[in-house]
Each structure stands twice: as structure tokens, then as C-alpha cells.
Structure 1
């Protein structure tokens, strides 16, 4: 099945306000999600935002998508700010704005009602992702029982995210052939957003983890197969099914609890942990951005949590 067909199947059901605007509006609405949004996660997020907004509009008495006005968008965004974070509200506004831009160019609506609506102000200088210090990260990795395939897999996956700054989305889509030897050194190939391919050499610890995983599970002979796989029920052996992100998150939480780590970590924790450790040991922000495949160092700075140590040291100066 083609990517376009999959996108159409995963598009949201047509809201009543779109159907009431006619066949042309319905077709253009579906095209927006099938043709303009390539990332499935973005498509789901935009579909959710647009669906909620148009449902609210129908409840507010709007009879058609062509009748949506800036006042409707502004009122809905104001309601969203009461329960959602500023970044989430801004994403919802972006979804509505991009949809109506598409409808305007398709001559379905005369103007974009979201064009003049401003979202909540938000400036992020530091990310909110929980980060482990090097001792905790080592404690977690060393606590994993690697006498089983699942243990070898989990250590390799966590190690990949720590030592290569890999996003979980890129990690779980890797194939076995994306771990390869070049210049007598093990490298990894990550397929990032926008179909960008990112390659980098392995840290010696990650090299050992990946070799142990591939050799210990026997999947090295299946180059086209998924690198990280689910476990077959009742056998304890790896299946041929790629490991979903949700399963990876559940694994990370389970491993953290077993290792006695109280911090509520997630998949993204290891990307931030690796970047912070790299910068603490003399790495440059520019090189960290290149290793993390960030287009701008401003994004990398969100992962730099060195200031946490400074803040803690200063707090301890308060002696009463």
C-alpha cells in the first residue's frame, strides 16, 4: 500500500462542518492530511486538534467550515489555555492555521480565520525532560540482567539513546543493517524526521552493547529485520516485530524502578542525559548539535542541564 493511501486511511473522519460545506471542501480537507503532512505523529496531533476545534464550533452554532471566523478561533484558543500547556496550545493553533491556509489556496474558504489569532507567549530556555546524572545512568545500565535476550535488547536500546543522542522514534525504526563497520569502527545509522539520514561512530561502551546484543540474540544474520524487537509470548525470544515506542517507554519505567531510581524518566531522558554528560566533559555545543542532528544549537540548549548542578550547589548555601 502506498504512503498516500496509508495517510488517507489514517486521516480523521470528516467533521459535520466539513461535510456541510460540500464535496469540494471534503476532498480538500482529506488532501490536507494525506498530502501535506508526512510525519504520522504530526498528522495524528493535527487531526486531534482540528477535530476538537470543529466539534466545538458545531456546538457553538457554526453551520459550516466556511463560516468559521477569527472570533471562533480566538475563543477556542482561550479555552485551551485554561487546561493545556502553552506549547500544546500553540501546536493546536498551528494545526488550525495550516489547515485553513490549505483551504484558502484551494478556494474553499475566502480567508484564514486563524491568521490574525495569536497564541499564548512561550519562551523555553531549558527543557523539562527529567535527566539522570552519570552515576544514575550507570546504575540503570548495570542493573539490567543481560543473560536473556530481553536484557541484551534493553541495555542496547538505552545505551544507544545515551551514547548517540538518538531519539526513540529513530531508534525503534532501525534495521539490523543500520549497525555496521566502517574504518574498523562500529557505526549506527539513524533515520531522523524528514527522512534525513544521520550516521555517527559508536562510543566504545555502545559498541560493546550492540555487539553483545547482535551476537547474543543471533539477529545479526537478518540485516533487513528490525534492530529492536518485541518478545514472543511464552518463549522469551525475540520476535520479528519492531518494538513500539509505547513498549519502549514501559520498559524504561520498569527498568528504572527495578534499579531504584526515583526520577520519573522517559525515553527522551537518555537523549538529554547523554548531551548533558557530553557538555560537562568539555564537549562543545556546536558538536553536540551535530551529533544530535539538531538544525540549531538553540534546540540543543534545551537539553543542556548543567545549570541544574549550579542551582543545587547554590541552594545548599542556605544555612539556617
Structure 2
């Protein structure tokens, strides 16, 4: 058999996060290539790619440690036993995600004629039903205090206020906010608009709340970004200069910033990047907004998803608890 011609695979495929599991490394060239193609060809979202790669690697290492010598030797009982063991260590949503990764991987291997059947196709994951989201949220006063507490005499302060406001007022996901370029903030009908690039390649445009318009304008003008239209909107701070660099702000850095700003504002809630999306939606609904319009603003395909961000029932619960007059 002729050796396969090396392909210019994406750098992520060659990273340690996608090191070949032993069962794949011991297989033939066609199997190894098919395995790598699953992550490079079928998955566009980098976060999903990393999560699926981790799940596939852990599963294949688990079965190899139990004497399975090849992919063809993986049976439904192996998958079921792995899911049972996994359920004792991680939450049900994580188990379901990892099972989905293994199912999709073996579907790909079956269509590539690497294995005859998918051993995971008949395995059921744990039951899990969600009616209320788990993301910590702020009330309107806390969100206002956080925004007002940021020192905007520096580039970092202007950036952080604009980023948090974008997530609060436009219900933007952190990934969509950090993917914005300067040109994604634009004038239309005498109002400032923002263009968000959401999951699944969806492009979503929103008019800016007057506070968000003020904060974005102050940030773009104050940091002299207006002429760099193709550059990232939110950037890291260059070491030693306290000025913006040309490097996009990583999501982990944004999370650390949010925690740092919240602590400085005296907010005890352990919020994260996603908290502002839930905060904005809940505040909108408390002030007379409709669930259908909130779903449109958040770019949700179903109002059932939007309901997970609606924390209005929390107020009722707190009021009722206080009736226990002991």
C-alpha cells in the first residue's frame, strides 16, 4: 500500500489536545486519517472541537485500559460501562455531551468503513431536564454599580466597560462579543448598531441601547480604533505600555477581568461572562419585555431557550421564603 500524502492539517489537529489515542496510533494510515478528519472536517466550532477531542481521547484510553485492542473490538457494553462510570464523576450534561462526541465519532468511522457498526448508537445517556438556568445573574442595581465602578481613564477601563455593556444590553454571548471587529460597530438610521457573529455562522445585528452607544463610542474614539476597521474590537493590553495591542482578547482573559471587576465593585455573586446575557434578558423581561422579543434579541431559535435565562421567578421564591416568620 502506498503511503498517504501528508496533508496541511490545521494547527489545532497537531496540538497536544488532539494527540492520537493508543488505539488510533496503532491502527493503519487510513484509520488515523479518518480519525483526524472527524475533527478537522465535521466540526467548525473550536470549543466543540476541543470538547469532542477530549471526550474521544478519554473514552478510547478507558477501553484500551480494559483490554480492548482495536476499534473493532469496542462493544455497546463498553460504552454503557464507561457512561455508568462517568456519571459518578461528572454532571449529567457533561455525560450527555461526551456520549454525543463518541456517537458522532463512530458514525464518522462507520461511513468511512473503518468499523462495521457504531457501538454507541444504542447506548442511552442519563435523563436530564432543565427548566431554570444555572448561570449566576446580577440584579439591575448590581449591574449598574459594576459599570459605574470601572475607571475609564485608561484603555483597559474603556475596553472593559464597553465589553460588559455589550453583553448586558445586546444579550451577546462572550464568544460573539470577542469575535467583533471594529467595523461591526456601525451607524444605521442615525443610530449605532452592532453586528454579532453568533454560533453556527449566524450573523445577528442589534441597535445599541443609548448607554451602550455611549460606551462603545467612548472606547473606540478614546483608544483610537476607528481607522482600524478590520482589527479586533476587544484587544489585550500591551505589556508595559498600558495601551491596547493588536491581539484579540482571549475568553479566559475576559473571564478573569469580569471576576476582578466584580470583586472591586463589592459584588459577592460568583459571576462569569455568561452572567451578563442572563442579567440583560431578565431585566428586559422585568420591565415589560416579551419572551418572544427577548428570543429575537438574543438570537434564540426557540423561546424555550430564552426561558432558561429568565430569573423573574427567583423574586417570587425569595418573597415566599420570607413568609416563614419564626
Q: Structure 1-normalised TM-score? A: 0.97
SS of residue in 1 equivalent to 2:18:
coil
Q: Is this contact kept in 1: 2:180–2:233, CA < 8 A?
A: yes
- For residue 310 of structure 1, the aligned residue among 310, 313, 316 is 316
- For residue 153 of structure 1, the aligned residue among 154, 159, 167 is 159
- For residue 142 of structure 2, the aligned residue among 129, 132, 136 is 136
Q: Is this contact kept in 1: 2:12–2:18, CA < 8 A?
A: no
Q: Which structure 2 residue ranges, 5 or more long, are not aligned?
A: 1-6
- For residue 209 of structure 1, the aligned residue among 208, 215, 218 is 215
- The offset of 1:65, in angstroms, is 1.1
- The offset of 1:8, in angstroms, is 3.4
- The offset of 1:194, in angstroms, is 1.6
Say yes or no: does 1:5 pair with 2:10: yes
Aligned counterpart, 2:261: 255
SS of residue in 1 equivalent to 2:226:
helix
Say yes or no: does 1:78 pair with 2:84: yes
Q: Which structure 1 residue ranges, 5 or more long, are not aligned?
A: none
Structure-1 separation of matches of 2:304 and 2:321 = 27
Aligned counterpart, 1:115: 121
Alignment of 1:1-320 (within 5 A): 5-6=10-11, 8-10=13-15, 12-320=18-326
SS of residue in 2 equivalent to 1:219:
coil
Q: Structure 2-normalised TM-score? A: 0.96
- The offset of 1:4, in angstroms, is 5.8
Structure-2 separation of matches of 1:4 and 1:39 = 16
Q: Number of matched residues?
A: 319
CA deviation profile, 1:43-73 (whole Å, cap 9, x unmatched) = 0000000000100111000001111000100
Q: Do the aligned partners of residues 282 and 310 (structure 1) sit closer, same or farther apart at CA in structure 2, a change above 3 Å counting? A: same
SS of residue in 2 equivalent to 1:124:
coil
Structure-1 separation of matches of 2:141 and 2:283 = 11
Structure-2 separation of matches of 1:188 and 1:248 = 19
Structure-1 separation of matches of 2:220 and 2:43 = 35
Moved over 6 A (4+): none
Structure-1 separation of matches of 2:228 and 2:321 = 53
- The offset of 1:9, in angstroms, is 3.2
Q: Is this contact kept in 2: 1:4–1:35, CA < 8 A?
A: no
